[in-house]
Structure 1
Amino acid sequence: MNSEDPHWYSAVEAPVRSVGDSQKWDEQADLVVVGLGGAGVTAALKARLNGLTVIALDCAEGGGATRASGGVFYAGGGTSVQHANGEEDSPENMFDYLKLETQGIVKDETLQRFCEQSADNLEWLMAQGVQFSGPVWKEKTSYPNVDYFLYHSDNSLLPEYMNDATPAARGHRGVIKRGRSAVNLGGSIYDPLRRRCDETGVEIHTSAEARQLVCDESGKIIGVRALQLPPDSDAYHEHRKCKSRGNAIKAVYPFFLPGAKVVHAWAERLLGRAKQIEEQ
């Protein structure tokens, strides 16, 4: 399926090829990160700390599913938090457990690298301001009591795994207090990374929707075209209203219902108006 297919419902267009130096850029950087959720904010910050200039785009305000999550980072192999709370683990022990759990789906060298780097990855997050700690919830659970911040998030406590690997608590919850809630706690991990992006000079554009990749003559990706309307502008609010209402009408009103043709024509007019705003 491609962007010309009648069932292509994404606003993303097919990549455009730039010939020679014909492409004019509004902004330039060594790296452009599209999507500033947990992975995006980490990639942007790591690149900036390595000396690259970075532009980060997000179609909303950033955070994504990471910020809305329970704020859990799976790590083991002997993290400082594990040691401080009496949990014995090592890269080898973590590998032995995950080897059983993944059943060959992940290559051994990939799994080994994950286990060997796991503790260092957690330390890197902590160095950026993310807080992890105990106490330990000693039983297997999908999510612990909110007063506990280290827990058995995997199956290592089950007898069939204990025969080959020593159980260890590897679910590291970012330290945050928000009543008894277990959702929208991902800011404990995301927010410190976002602050570090601001501090280190990552150029962040919110309400910026990536629409099209730009390639050179060899097919190498060299840039991205994005739509950004100032969030405080009338155009932004009208565009958002027209697009959301148009898509909602098309989604909830089937073609077989009476008057569907008229209703869908209305939806297309709304989406057409949104398109006009984009092109102004």
Structure 2
Amino acid sequence: MTVSPLAAGLNLAVEDPLVLDDPDAHPWSETADLVVVGLGGAGVAAALEALERGVSVIAIDRYEGGGSTAANGGVFYAGGGTAIQKEAGEEDTPEEMYKYLKVEAGEVVADATLRRFVEESPATIDWIVKHGGKLNAKVWRKKASYPPLDYFLYHPDNSLVASYRKIARPAARGHRAYTRNGKKAWGLGVGIYDPLRQSALRLGLAFHPLTEARQLVMDRNGRVVGIKVLSIPAGSAAAARFT
């Protein structure tokens, strides 16, 4: 096995890419249009959207899936007039959200990217809700890094600060998952993550937990066409020890 210097420095058992002359002739154990490595929040969103577009998807995760998204406080930042904001009586528009975020982001984020983010923000919340994501319109109207556990829409940013109010109308844009984990402010991301994952599985996602990517497979043009994985068999003694 040849291990890249970077992987060796990070103590990762990742091999240098395997280059194939004819990928179609390779004896793949499983095939799909898309392979998602890491089924956390970003991974499950990518997989779900691909499945909605008719793309076949395989996902792998070194653990059981969810990652920090499932383990965190379950906050999703969105605005511009989301359905949850409207239900709470919060007035917001993409333009007001853009004016605020432009001050915060400066030149770090391209204008086109920022515009797309704020304009697509309400539709993103609709998409999460459509797939069963648990959100709620009970609003905490003060600035807070995290709201009281009985509130689910709040001001996580600086939009209420006087200097910012002169630039853009403030609005509560922190959407927190509508779920509880006792009195803990973590482990709440499952309220958003789990429904998206279940929706992806219903649409045909092939998911392999306890599976890690060990090698990229490429064609002669440098295009990634697959991966080699190491998987712990479900129900095995090794799986019980690992989890």
- TM-score band, normalised by shorter chain: over 0.9
1:127 aligns with 2:130: yes
Residue 23 of structure 1: CA displacement? 2.0
Q: Using the alignment, how far apart are the partners of 2:183 and 2:175 within structure 1?
A: 18
Alignment of 1:192-203 (within 5 A): 192-203=195-206
Letter in 1 for 2:211: A
For residues 3-35 of structure 1, give each alpha carbon's deviation from its aligned partner in whole angstroms, at most 9, with x where no partner exists.
Answer: 146534111211110111442200000111000
For residues 96-149 of structure 1, give each alpha carbon's deviation from its aligned partner in whole angstroms, at most 9, with x where no partner exists.
Answer: 000001121111111011000011001100000112112110110000100000
Question: Percent of pairs identical after alignment?
Answer: 49
Residue 233 of structure 1: CA displacement? 2.0
SS for the counterpart of 1:121 is: helix
Equivalent residue in structure 2 for 1:15, among 7, 10, 17: 17
For residues 44-72 of structure 1, give each alpha carbon's deviation from its aligned partner in whole angstroms, at most 9, with x where no partner exists.
Answer: 11111111111010010000000001111
| Number of the residue aligned with 2:221 | 218
TM-score by length of 1: 0.82
Q: Which has the higher contact order (CA 8 A, sep 6+)?
A: 2
Residue 235 of structure 1: CA displacement? 4.8
Larger Rg: 1
| Number of the residue aligned with 2:209 | 206
Q: Using the alignment, how far apart are the partners of 2:240 and 2:151 within structure 1?
A: 42
Structure 1 runs not aligned, ≥5 long: 242-280
Structure 2 runs not aligned, ≥5 long: none
Q: Using the alignment, how far apart are the partners of 1:218 and 1:237 within structure 2?
A: 41
Q: Using the alignment, how far apart are the partners of 1:209 and 1:179 within structure 2?
A: 32
| Number of the residue aligned with 2:81 | 78
Alignment of 1:1-280 (within 5 A): 3-4=4-5, 7-20=9-22, 21-236=24-239, 240=242
Letter in 2 for 1:12: V
Q: Using the alignment, how far apart are the partners of 1:235 and 1:129 within structure 2?
A: 34
For residues 140-166 of structure 1, give each alpha carbon's deviation from its aligned partner in whole angstroms, at most 9, with x where no partner exists.
Answer: 000010000000011100111111100
SS for the counterpart of 1:160 is: helix
Change (3 A) 1:45 1:161: same
- Of Structure 1 and Structure 2, the greater helix share is in 1
